[in-house]
Amino acid sequence: MKRPILSPTLAANEKVIALRAAGRKVYHMGFGQAPFPVHPRLHKALCDNAHQQQYLGVAGLPELCEAVLSHQAALTGLNPDDYDVIVGPGSKLILYALQMAIPGDIMLPVPSWVSYAPQAGLLGQRVIDVPTVSVNNTLQLTAESLETAWHEAKRNGLNPTKLLINFPGNPTGITISDPELQAITEFCRQHSTTLISDEIYGRLAFDGQYRSASSHFPEGAVVTTGLSKHLSLGGWRLGVGIVPKAIDGLHQSLIQIASETWSCVSTPVQFAAIEAYTLHADVERFIDNSRQIHKVVNTHIADKLRLMGFDCPTPTGAFYTWPEIASKPDATSTRFSDSQQLADHLLENYGIVSLPGEAFGEDPSKLRLRLSGCDYDGALALSTLEKHGADKLLLNIDEFAPGVSGALQQFEQFAQSH
Ligand SMILES: Cc1ncc(COP(=O)(O)O)c(C=O)c1O
């Protein structure tokens, strides 16, 4: 299969930049970029370290690695002595390095984030799809679906050695329950499968609980996370991998890959990141406020879409919704044969930029879309929250997030079109 040059999410962003430059009104629901300004403490830390010009050690600044482990210990109870850390230029590259460092084929839930499967493809590894099951308005990985996929893969001559999960999830906006996590980790133990747990949205679970696979599977779950989402620092490009010492040689393999590729992450950014992992009260408040705003905006999007007649799970974290347009029992959707065609139609006729479900491995005929609810003025949203409180945030959404309200109006028109 010919792979697109740009990852779909980055391609959507470039399309929006070009359309806006050409004067088109577009509603950007295609890109997962958290909208809040750089926290002043982190801004200052970066400026204070701008003079640092030296390369750092490949694994990352030791003080930063320590801060990361203390931070995870405080939030999830892991024992810092049991882990090594690697710092990378975004968690995306650490995820790629992990796929490279663990030979064999990868089990991926359907749906899952756009880059996992292409990364496996770049490495010449194969992907084993594991269907998720709809339970109580959420999508879950069950012990049965994992077992079935594993046995079928074995029968077909594949070599499943790793499972990658992500929660709260992109594209679904759904987080995971403890029993589900328990079932997944049990499966991994039984089948000697390394669990890669992408927890980049871990601090954006709407109930404020950071759940981690490391709590259930301390010896076999590699956690990836970073600054991009809960601190809106995607462009700083700082991600971390938290690697159990019990997985023999994995940390060394990652360092080898890093040493031949990215060498080290930007030195000023690493120094500034120590502050991000220090649990300062003001930074924690900023994260709490960001999370509350994401919750209000994205729950609102899901509620509105359901009122229009589309199935849409209620998001429980991150900043995404995952409506199924084919679920509406009328002619709105019958004109489209796949989700790409639907996404093209929405852009062309309503100015809505979305990502088609098929980019996430979903059945194209379900006409699923991944909508990002984060294209708004983050500074204004934060000041509105401080001024009026979380309860009143929704009343002010038209002011701080006119693009989101506008997109929903456009969707309304689409829902009524036949
Ligand atoms: C699920 C998921 N994992 C990983 C990443 C990569 O984040 P970063 O490389 O900025 O740490 C993203 C970014 O959109 C994501 O949505």
Q: Is the CB–ligand 1 distance for residue 90 below 6 Å?
A: yes
Q: Is the CB–ligand 1 distance for residue 140 below 6 Å?
A: no
Tell me the C-alpha distance between 212 and 167, whole Å: 9
How high is the pLDDT of residue 192?
A: 96
Q: Is the CB–ligand 1 distance for residue 228 below 6 Å?
A: yes
CA of 328 to the centre of ligand 1 (A): 31
Whether the pLDDT of residue 418 is over 80: the answer is no
Domain span holding position 239: 54-278
Q: Are residues 273 and 288 in the same domain?
A: no
How high is the pLDDT of residue 15?
A: 80
Q: Are residues 143 and 219 in the same domain?
A: yes
Tell me the C-alpha distance between 29 and 309, whole Å: 19
Q: Are residues 219 and 327 in the same domain?
A: no
What is the tens place of the pLDDT at every residue in 24-79? Answer: 899 999 988 999 999 999 999 999 999 999 999 999 999 999 999 999 999 999 99
Q: Are residues 175 and 27 in the same domain?
A: no
CA of 221 to the centre of ligand 1 (A): 18
| pLDDT cut 70: percent of the chain above it | 98
Tell me the C-alpha distance between 139 and 106, whole Å: 20
Q: Are residues 198 and 290 in the same domain?
A: no
Tell me the C-alpha distance between 126 and 105, whole Å: 5
pLDDT band of residue 5 (cuts 50, 70, 90) is low
How high is the pLDDT of residue 343?
A: 94
How high is the pLDDT of residue 138?
A: 80
How high is the pLDDT of residue 26?
A: 93
How high is the pLDDT of residue 14?
A: 80
N- to C-terminal Cα distance for the chain? 34
Tell me the C-alpha distance between 36 and 38, whole Å: 7
How high is the pLDDT of residue 134?
A: 82
Q: Are residues 227 and 192 in the same domain?
A: yes
What is the tens place of the pLDDT at every residue in 308-332? Answer: 999 999 999 999 999 999 888 776 7
Tell me the C-alpha distance between 214 and 165, whole Å: 12
Indicate the SS3 state at residue 5: coil
How high is the pLDDT of residue 335?
A: 86
pLDDT band of residue 194 (cuts 50, 70, 90) is very high
Q: Are residues 228 and 329 in the same domain?
A: no
Backbone φ, ψ for residue 331 (5° rounding): -85, 5
Q: Is the CB–ligand 1 distance for residue 198 below 6 Å?
A: yes
Whether the pLDDT of residue 3 is over 60: the answer is no
Q: Is the CB–ligand 1 distance for residue 111 below 6 Å?
A: no
How high is the pLDDT of residue 40?
A: 98
Whether the pLDDT of residue 2 is over 60: the answer is no
- For the ranges 164-173, 185-194, 234-243, 333-342, the lowest mean pLDDT is seen at 333-342
Q: What is the CATH number of the domain that holds 78?
A: 3.40.640.10
What is the tens place of the pLDDT at every residue in 210-260? Answer: 999 999 999 999 999 999 999 999 999 999 999 999 999 999 999 999 999
Q: Are residues 201 and 127 in the same domain?
A: yes
Q: Are residues 252 and 329 in the same domain?
A: no
Please give the tally of structural domains in the chain.
2
